[in-house]
Structure 1
Amino acid sequence: MPANRIGYGQFNGFQLKTIQEIITLVVFVAFSIFYLKEELKWNYLVGFVFIMLAVFFIFKKW
């Protein structure tokens, strides 16, 4: 988890873990498309949309 004193003061643990997972996912998608030459299919995009919705709910101030 990319938690450090600066990050943890601004974000909580759940938000830091979410940031880490989004960064990992973006890097892996780029690697899969450009290096492994895999296709980005519609069902993957739907899954990414749901993950982005999770990010919205985690970072939304209620």
Structure 2
Amino acid sequence: MQTIALLIISNIFMTLAWYGHLKFPQWPMITAILVGWGLALVEYCFAVPANRLGYAHGFTASQLKIAQEVITLAVFAVFAAVVLKEPIGWRYAGAFVCLAGAASFMFLGRA
């Protein structure tokens, strides 16, 4: 559970790093890049421990990656709806179902 919590926090920061600047189109490009890098550094401070702890506790690298992808889509959907005011449509639901299916295959047989 600690791994998943760290991955969620990590993805919140990465989503802000990659897409947060879209709310500030008046920023010069260099400002957007530097703010993004700063946020990405914080993201790494959560992602690296998440992956190391998860791997040490029995997750495979592939399982960690697919979990991260599912979390990324969920975090981005909330960000897009709340921050960017973009509607969540059927495409999000379809993508989430596909990723959930991929995660199911990756975790199949895991105790």
Q: Aligning the two structures, in what range does the TM-score lie when normalised by the shorter sequence?
A: 0.7 to 0.9
* TM-score, normalised by the number of residues in structure 1: 0.81
- Cα offsets for 1:40-59 (capped at 9, x unmatched): 11132112111111111110
**Which residue identity does 2:59 align to in structure 1?**
F
Paired residue for 1:7, among 32, 54, 60? Answer: 54
**Which residue identity does 1:50 align to in structure 2?**
C
State the alpha-carbon separation in 1 of the partners of residues 91 and 67 from structure 2: 22
* TM-score, normalised by the number of residues in structure 2: 0.49
Q: Which structure is higher in helix share?
A: 2
The yes-or-no answer on 1:28 pairing with 2:76 is yes
State the alpha-carbon separation in 2 of the partners of residues 34 and 45 from structure 1: 17
Paired residue for 2:94, among 25, 46, 57? Answer: 46
Q: Percent identity?
A: 39
Alignment root-mean-square deviation, CA: 1.8
State the alpha-carbon separation in 1 of the partners of residues 68 and 90 from structure 2: 24
- Cα offsets for 1:16-55 (capped at 9, x unmatched): 1112112222111110001111111113211211111111
* Higher Cα Rg, which structure: 2
Aligned residues: 61
Conserved? CA contact 2:77–2:92, under 8 Å? no
Residue ranges of structure 2 left out of the alignment (5+ in a row): 1-46
